[in-house]
Structure 1
Amino acid sequence: ILMPRAVRAASHLKAAFSRPATARLAPRSSRPAVRALLVAFALLAAAPIALGQRAPTLRGGSWWERTDPGPRGSLPRSRFYTIRSDLPAEDTRRYANLLDTMYLEYTRLMKGLRPRGSAHLDVFMFATEQDYLDTLRTRFGASGTGSGGMFFVGPKGAGLAFFTQGLPSARVEHVIRHEGFHQIANIFFDHDLPPWANEGLAEYFGESVVVNGTVIEGQMTESTLAKVKSLIEQGRIVPFEDLLSRDLRAWNGAVSRGTADAQYAQSASMVHFLLWGEGGRLSDRFSAYLRNLNEGRDPVSSFRMAFGGTDDRALADFERRWREFVKQQSPGSVRAAMDRLTFLSEGLLRLRDRNVHPSSLEELKSALKKEGFTLAMGSHAGPVTLRAEDESLYSIPPDQIQDRRRAPEIEFVWKGPKPPRRATAKDDERDGGGSGAGGTEERSSDAAEKPAKPPPLPELSTRNLRPRNLKVSWKQGADGGWSAEVGLE
């Protein structure tokens, strides 16, 4: 939903981003294919989300009424966002910190561009899907049907909205990173950023990894990369000239026809190519392209000025180089490792609820397969369901920055009592027969007997992963239930 461009730009963004037109994206030619950026997390920690003089009163009525802080209160604020939320305070703070972290990444990309619209940033965090749908419809005249979150702009207001009910935290965070970019892009481009660049960049950030305030970019997921390679092999890619000039109506037409995942995946891949392909040499030109759009030039002229032409030969050469990049590209190891640890930790908690306690990675794999465990992840390039029978989920694919001599791997360390040992025929012979020749029985000692309470959860982490290893942190809530969070080791 788009509205006519705003005529007012906030003074703090003008001061921060009104730079000479020669400003450009940081060159990437001297950097590896995956860049780890340690943002000012200490600064974020020093200025956590303020809960205002008075917390919102969760009384009866609509969601809007229930989250109203009252005449003497104020809405929560993070460094850059005004927040309205009915989530637990800890969740509100966690998502606010993620938004602040990503804001620094978004605006780094916009360095040198002049804001063209209001820089006031509203975020609406909903606990339930129904409140999300009802509030968007009644308060803003927007439809959130079929979405987990969205950035909306309309005559009645604008904001980033999402809900958490029934969604894995990884999915919620992907929505925040993706839709959060749209919110910032609207400030600098209004409706002038072509859909391929708008959605491609949003999905680029959506697929990035954020752990402990560290943003690791260049992390294309296995599913998106596989989809792009399949599109190329099947001859189903959108012609570059068509994609570059495709307006919002044509883009939404593909969405209504059910072919949106192809254009999302291809656009995300093109952004990866422009930022990381050919040793990063194209990133300066991509920066110039964004600058031309920011200054009000049309998409075709902007591309021609930045990349040296949009005739058939130039576009054919550009497409050829992109295809070669995709052919050599590997999925991001950190993104893959994070997805695997999320899958395994959620699986462990499911098994724990059933009083099943694997003591090794092999036992965990076997138990998850027996359970038929699945986990929905998903992205704007299409839904993704991780399934226990997929053998690749128990190892980490190496990308270009990994050490081939010391491949990254998943590490499982059992913290409970020593599991009981299965007796063998040799044990029976030594013990004088036991249960009979060739028989087996469960041998256990007092130390190996089933404990009165569940054993501790195991340590689950990565080893040899560059640039940093990941680990799972287990947290127990007031109700005794457990949750998992993947972070840096």
Structure 2
Amino acid sequence: MPVRSQVRPGSPSDIPLPVRFRVIQTPYYVITTDLPPEEAQEAALRMTRMAEEYAERTKGFSGRVTKRLPFYLFQDIRDYNTYGGPVGSAGVFQIQGNDRRLLAFAGEATNPRRWEVIQHEGFHQFADAAIGRLPPWIDEGLAEYFGEAIWTGDGFVTGAIPPERLKRLRARMTEGRLLAVRDMMQLQPDQWNFMISPNNYHQAWSMTQFLAHGDNGKYQAGFNNFMRAVNRKVPWEKAWVDTFGATDGFEPKWSGWYAKLPDDPTAELYTRATLSTIASFVARAHAERRGYRTLEDLAAAMKVGEFKPTGENWLPYRLLEEAVVRSRRDATTFSIEPARVKSDPPAVVAVRPDGTRLVATSPARFAVPVKVTITATSGAVAVRPVPSIAPPTANPGTPPAFNPPANAPGLPPATPARPPEPPKVAVAPPDASARPPMTPPVLVRPEAPAGVGPNLPAAGGPIQVAAGVSPGREKAVEFVAANNVFGPDHDVVAKVIKASAEVAKTGSNLRVTLGPKMMKSGRLTDVIVLEERCFVIEYTPQQRARIDIGDKTVMTMRFGMPPWTRTLQTVDQVTTLFTPMPLSADEPLKWKTKIDRSDAPDERPYATRVRYLLANGNSFENTAIYKSAPKAGAILSYQSHKMPKLEGPEPILAFVDVVHPATETDKIEILSNTMAFVLDVAVQPEGDPAAPAKPVE
């Protein structure tokens, strides 16, 4: 969901960007970046084509974008975080009053995964400007839909269903881990942010994908009408029933469609995307009077600089590399064949495993963007030619037209979602005064599930957290602690935040009850016991958090964790038990954190980060052990940490990020010899430049 944030009182409101940043005016964006020229050029080109794709696919229900959208693209993760990018994220769309901006971290070279995030967050920005506020499942579902879009150099191919994502979706359906459709549709933005989960993103994507392509495009016109009604402020429940009927009838159709799909339902769509990319490069080579017999020859020529499109014809070599890799995803063969007319660009041919022959051609008169047409033949029978970026809607895996039926009753004509008329791309001189200032916003913590705060520590006993309680219902969280913390003579210092919250001490137990009023206001409270002190954390509706000792606020915590990082925080994903576990008579008690990563976003090896909150001068040892294959029982990593002694009023608290290396196992157990508070647990793709910072030594 878009991040809505405010500047804290006393925070600097104007922080100019360093001199190295420059401003690029594109047709639809104002890009502020410090990337090298070629990387910045790729960003400008991609964002231009992406904006056109957003507009084309939503033209049946969106309005007009009247000004260029701000996009800040950072090379250094520290700059990205300084100017508002949530820690651990790669991109975010932020709303601050009237300021709406897209921020992203690119690193040294923007990789495909980064662009998935930018395309996702970019849709939130576009929707905010052209459509208006959407229900979370639609907003996130369409953002995921565009995040999966494949760039061809001259356009995008949308509607792809990655096989690994389909596999995960089916598993979650089978295991009953998805919400009922009606419950998904009723989620409000704050609820979505609190209970943020990979399951919700998979489900929202699958629902919008089904409405766009399910049953041979049967629901496209209805989806378009539904979206237009929502855009006209018709309550979504009424708009849905008027269009599709009861949600209970929709659910079996949605789940049944995915159950019947082949394992790689959009394989031909991936082939079309690859063909379009290769044909775009072949057309550019032909325009420069260069010819190549094979795809390998073309790639080799670009790699050594023998052929390099320039000016408005430019495309990055990395894009061709990605197409070459994608060409090997199945047994499809690709070749370059001479055109029938010598003056025409060569054709690019793909022969699919089922014998379907796809031929990509481009116009004899070269122009950018290149209009590639793909003709499919099976045996001697020709199938009607279609543009590669818009395959026929009869194929369940092809892009949606998002067009309403003619003369739809009760609906006014749609205004095309066209951004303003484009001027030519121009690079502004490095004038510091010309650069817009940026305001670092307060980061938010969207990953905490509704009704459940972070896992809370207590010495000498387990923590019991009641789960599955909806907002508006009474919520009780119980802590069981040993006498070394809550001794019979030790007074518990706790602040009652509101009358609807009760804090009581009975023997060695502390109980916090959150009443209906507090739950309805979106507030959550947690209690931390650290060094015989009781800390009460209040989560405000803005999802900031503060720690109080008695009636004194000692620090304010700010959090940020975007969807793509998939923080594993829900009760069924991460179980944190601070149960004393003496390994031997000579060893101190250990606190144990069990982490189940089976719900990670994809199948790649993931590093695991555990964030601790420690008191001033504390030290601790931390060992991670595999709990499942491939190395059950073996030590994954051992780390020792000591917080430096800092001057100031006691206690001084600080964060420590412990990053354990990437592993293919889905379960690990972390043992710590400290009563540290596990703030959250996150995973990061192996080798990702946006991995959390190194732990404090």
TMscore range, shorter length: 0.5 to 0.7
Note if 1:202 corresponds to 2:150.
Answer: no
SS in 2 for 1:297: coil
Alpha-carbon distance in 1 for matches of 2:110, 2:18:
27
Closer, same or farther: CA 223–79 of 1 in aligned 2, 3 Å: same
Match of 1:291 among 214, 228, 242: 228
Aligned to 1:216: 157
* Displacement after TM superposition at 1:91 (Å): 1.0
Match of 2:105 among 163, 171, 191: 163
Alpha-carbon distance in 1 for matches of 2:209, 2:37:
36
> For the pair shown, which has the larger CA radius of gyration, 1 or 2?
2
1:152/1:159 contact within 8 Å kept: yes
Aligned to 2:204: 267
Deviations 1:169-211 (A, max 9, x none): 11122122111111111123433x1111111111111111111
Amino acid at match of 2:147: G
Closer, same or farther: CA 325–305 of 1 in aligned 2, 3 Å: farther
* Displacement after TM superposition at 1:164 (Å): 1.4
1:241/1:315 contact within 8 Å kept: no
Q: 1:84-483 to 2 correspondence within 5 Å?
A: 84-113=32-61, 115=63, 119-136=67-84, 143-155=85-97, 157-165=99-107, 169-191=111-133, 193-255=134-196, 260-310=197-247, 312=248, 314-324=249-259, 326=261, 330=265, 332=267, 335=270, 395-396=329-330, 403-406=352-355
* Displacement after TM superposition at 1:231 (Å): 0.7
Closer, same or farther: CA 117–337 of 1 in aligned 2, 3 Å: closer
Alpha-carbon distance in 2 for matches of 1:264, 1:282:
21
Alpha-carbon distance in 2 for matches of 1:406, 1:3:
51
SS in 1 for 2:195: helix
State the Cα RMSD in Å: 4.0
Amino acid at match of 1:396: D
Closer, same or farther: CA 114–227 of 1 in aligned 2, 3 Å: closer
Larger helix share, 1 or 2: 1
* Displacement after TM superposition at 1:300 (Å): 1.5
SS in 1 for 2:265: coil
SS in 2 for 1:269: helix
- Mean alpha-carbon deviation: is it higher for 175-184 or for 156-165? 156-165
1:209/1:334 contact within 8 Å kept: no
Give the alignment's TM-score, normalised by structure 1.
0.52
1:207/1:335 contact within 8 Å kept: no
Q: 1:21-32 to 2 correspondence within 5 Å?
A: none
Closer, same or farther: CA 164–337 of 1 in aligned 2, 3 Å: farther
Deviations 1:193-239 (A, max 9, x none): 11111111111111111112132122121221111011112122211
* Displacement after TM superposition at 1:3 (Å): 6.0
Deviations 1:69-116 (A, max 9, x none): 6xxxxx321111111111112111111111111111111233244548
Amino acid at match of 2:91: G
SS in 1 for 2:161: coil
SS in 2 for 1:111: coil
Alpha-carbon distance in 2 for matches of 1:154, 1:284:
35
2:149/2:159 contact within 8 Å kept: yes
SS in 2 for 1:220: coil
Alpha-carbon distance in 2 for matches of 1:329, 1:289:
29
Closer, same or farther: CA 226–299 of 1 in aligned 2, 3 Å: same
Amino acid at match of 2:236: P
SS in 2 for 1:76: strand
Closer, same or farther: CA 68–217 of 1 in aligned 2, 3 Å: closer
* Displacement after TM superposition at 1:167 (Å): 6.5
Alpha-carbon distance in 1 for matches of 2:328, 2:3:
44
Aligned to 2:17: 64
2:64/2:130 contact within 8 Å kept: yes
Identity %: 25
Alpha-carbon distance in 1 for matches of 2:205, 2:331:
20
Closer, same or farther: CA 281–119 of 1 in aligned 2, 3 Å: farther
Closer, same or farther: CA 214–113 of 1 in aligned 2, 3 Å: closer
Amino acid at match of 1:217: T
Alpha-carbon distance in 2 for matches of 1:397, 1:162:
36
Closer, same or farther: CA 103–117 of 1 in aligned 2, 3 Å: closer
2:210/2:254 contact within 8 Å kept: no
The total of aligned residue pairs comes to 292
Amino acid at match of 2:242: M
SS in 2 for 1:161: strand
1:188/1:294 contact within 8 Å kept: no
Amino acid at match of 2:45: N
Alpha-carbon distance in 1 for matches of 2:206, 2:52:
23
Amino acid at match of 1:289: F
